[in-house]
Amino acid sequence: MKRIFDFIVSAAAIVGLSPVLLILATVVRWKLGAPVLFRQQRPGLRGRPFWLLKFRTMTDARGHDGALLPDAARLTRFGQFLRAASLDELPELLN
């Protein structure tokens, strides 16, 4: 019963927020390029892994040695805004 409720609420939220999701995806694509979504594997219920989706907030900038720069150096202004407003987490509704 809870699973059905979660599914219905998530589906309604996705439909209701789809204009916001589309605008954010367009801006992320414009500012950071592709891919628009960040995917990370996390432990879920009973330790079973699942893929978490978020909007990208960082660049793939690398140093002279080819290693990724620290997170603070790669976080964009728009990414800071997304994180502060928790808008980067909206794609989690798909989970």
Say what the pTM is. 0.78
Reported as a pLDDT band with limits 50, 70 and 90, residue 70 is: confident
**Mean pLDDT of the residues in the chain:** 91
Q: ω before 19 within 30° of 0 (cis)?
A: no
Rounded distance between C-alpha atoms, residue 84 and residue 91, angstroms: 16
Structure tokens at 87: 């808008």
Domain count along the chain:
1
Contacts of 74 (CB under 8 A, 6+ apart): 58, 59, 60, 61, 68
pLDDT for position 5: 92
Range of the domain at 39: 2-94
